Amino acid sequence: MIIAAADGSALGNPGPAGWAWYVDDDRWAAGGWKHSTNNVGELTAVLELFRATAHLDDELLVQCDSQYVINSVTKWMPGWKRKGWRKADGKPVMNVEILKEIDAELVGRRYRFEWVKGHVGHPMNEAADQRARAAAEAFRSGLPVPAGPGWADGAVAEADEPGERVIAETSTRDDDDELGGGGRDADEVPATLFDLDEAPDAWQTLTVELSTEEHERLVQRARAAGLSPEEFLRGLI
């Protein structure tokens, strides 16, 4: 069995972003973009891990601190595919192109996902997180991206070309921002929250605490779009 960690990082969320997968110091890869989000980084890390190990027959254990990624791949994707990659409310699935690529890579593979709590010293998770963050920081500073050695067969990972990864998602917070003063990682949001995505067709209530500054930014962006704050937030889902 191959045990690997996959993680993403976004400085500003959206902002300079990175992804990384890690097996050991001789087998890891990273990349990123000038502008993307944490969830895009997390998904891309999983995608690149499956691509890097496609020539192997070993079972793959993927350790992630993102419940969004794990639920998307292991729980929601079959239903999304049956509905033409649309959610229960008929709206398009976020990050659908990356998810389609992951879905293609899963064919014929033996794999399992394991959720690990992020930022608590888990060795594999910390190694992937550090490399994803380093990639994001390299894009922010305009420096060469530490892409890593790739797999042990000598294949070297290529850093993504400078640019933007298409963003079609929202995120509670990234590695570097806080929500509502105390804040917590988007990766730490309970899985029951994400279960709303596949809930029956009915109205759901979600309470989000915002700081005064965050609320003012929300109102300003809503006004610029000619919408109420509620309509603006609903349009992001």
**Residues identified as active-site:** 7-8, 42, 65, 119, 129
Cis peptide, bond prior to residue 16, ω within 30 of zero: no
Beta-carbon contacts of residue 66 (< 8 Å; ≥ 6 apart): 7, 8, 39, 42, 186, 187
Strand arrangement of the beta sheet that strand 2-10 belongs to: 27-36, 15-24, 2-10, 60-64, 111-115
Distance CA 49, CA 140 (A): 24
**Do the strands 27-36 and 60-64 form a parallel or antiparallel pair, or are they unpaired?**
unpaired
Within 92-217, strands assigned E span 111-115
DSSP state letter for 226:
T
Nearest-10 crossing angle of helices 123-141, 38-52? 110
Distance CA 154, CA 100 (A): 28
In 3D, which of 48, 32, 68 has the Cα closest to residue 193? 68
Q: Return the ∠ at Cα 222 (arms to 140 and 96), rounded to 5°.
A: 60
**Do the strands 111-115 and 60-64 form a parallel or antiparallel pair, or are they unpaired?**
parallel
